[in-house]
Amino acid sequence: MTKTWFEQLMHLKSPTGEEKLMASWLKETLKTIADDVFEDVLGNVYAVKNPRREMSEVKETIMLSAHMDEPSFTVIDIDDGGFLRIEGIGDWHAVNLIGARLLFARTQTIGVVGVEPHVELADVAFRHLFVDIAAKNRKDAEQRIAVGDLATVHGAVETMTSDVFVGPVLSNRISCAVLLEVLQKANNQSKMVAVFTVQKQVGSRGARVASYRVNSDLAVVIDVTKAGDTPHAERPSLALGQGPAIKMLDATMVVAPTVRDRLIDCANKAGVTYQREVSPATTSDANALFVSRGGIPTGGVSIVTRQASFFSNMVHVADMKKAVTLLTTLVE
């Protein structure tokens, strides 16, 4: 069940650049559902099915990827009072972080974001923010935190209805849960490589080296995309619970008709309702997979989420399940 994978994954926080916690959980879990499991120097985790099948026996190598990382924060300074200064890694607006709780991955330290007084809200930048980890002084803080430590927004994932979850920055865990389920379900004849990538938030750095390594005949990126089914939404095309979105284009690439039509055929074959994703403001690993080596045919299947802000992403379980069915049809 996708939900079960998601429930296991949802507590694993994975800041961009320090995805180790999720990577080690994945490596352990994947051993039971894939033939080969390994990690590369950036920290991408690979799971391969049918790795030693002769090329004459398989139609093609298909790579499915999902990113493990969340936008994060890094510590750039610790002051005498034990307060931390941070910078954002990813698309953060400093003002939105006032009062948020952060979780520092290395030591699982919790911090609260404060702001210097006398700064107008509209002018708040990262240099005005500090993080309070309830340290007595610098020495006390340094017991738990070092310059360069990475954090994510802290917060629980909760059930809103039997079908809808909400939590901060769910994109990575939603995508990874779908990929795990496909990997487990697929009884495929093709060589299939599942890649759990790192550092998507800083320009798909993990995906770039992964695509070079795998050199697949087809790559499909699993990620989330923004719903437009809320009041006065600018682009009211995608809706929660209406099925997976097959990528037409996003901010990083335009999907070739042959690739997107193949995914549409899979959806039709599997009897899965789907939506068409035209999201010019959404980033994904797609381009990094696409422009590797001589060019890798690349498409995407996205899960529609309502994203009020980074703190509250909503996801519908049916969309995840249908994405699994679609992708399983593709790789079989």
Residues in touch with other proteins (CB under 8 A) = 16-18, 37-42, 44, 74, 76-77, 79, 85, 87, 89, 127, 147-148, 199, 202, 205, 208-209, 212-213
- Note whether 45 and 210 are within 8 A (CB): no
Give residue 213's Cα distance to chain centre.
20
Q: Which is nearer to other proteins, 203 or 228 (CB)?
A: 203
Half-sphere exposure at residue 39, Cβ-oriented, CA atoms within 13 angstroms: 16
**Terminus-to-terminus CA distance in the chain, angstroms?**
18
Q: Which is nearer to other proteins, 90 or 244 (CB)?
A: 90
- Shortest separation between residue 141's beta carbon and other proteins, angstroms: 13
Q: Which is nearer to other proteins, 17 or 155 (CB)?
A: 17
**125 DSSP 8-state letter:** -
Q: Which is nearer to other proteins, 197 or 275 (CB)?
A: 197
Q: Which is nearer to other proteins, 19 or 250 (CB)?
A: 19
CA dihedral 104, 107, 112, 118 (to 10 degrees): -80
- Shortest separation between residue 241's beta carbon and other proteins, angstroms: 36
Rg (C-alpha) for the chain, rounded Å, is 20
User: What are 172's two structure tokens?
Assistant: 């990575």
- Shortest separation between residue 125's beta carbon and other proteins, angstroms: 11
- Shortest separation between residue 159's beta carbon and other proteins, angstroms: 33
- Note whether 194 and 65 are within 8 A (CB): yes
- Note whether 209 and 197 are within 8 A (CB): no
- Shortest separation between residue 235's beta carbon and other proteins, angstroms: 30
User: What are 142's two structure tokens?
Assistant: 């340094």
Q: What angle do CA 101, 111, 167 make, to 5 degrees?
A: 25
Q: Which is nearer to other proteins, 131 or 326 (CB)?
A: 131
- Shortest separation between residue 153's beta carbon and other proteins, angstroms: 17
- Shortest separation between residue 42's beta carbon and other proteins, angstroms: 5
| Nearest C-alpha neighbor of 135 from the set 100, 111, 103, 102 | 111
Q: How many CB atoms lie within 10 A of CB 147?
A: 12
- Shortest separation between residue 41's beta carbon and other proteins, angstroms: 4
Q: Strand pairing partners for 84?
A: 78, 131
3-state percent helix, strand, coil for the chain, nearest multiple of 5 = 30, 30, 40
Q: Which is nearer to other proteins, 298 or 329 (CB)?
A: 298
**180 DSSP 8-state letter:** H
Q: Which is nearer to other proteins, 13 or 322 (CB)?
A: 13
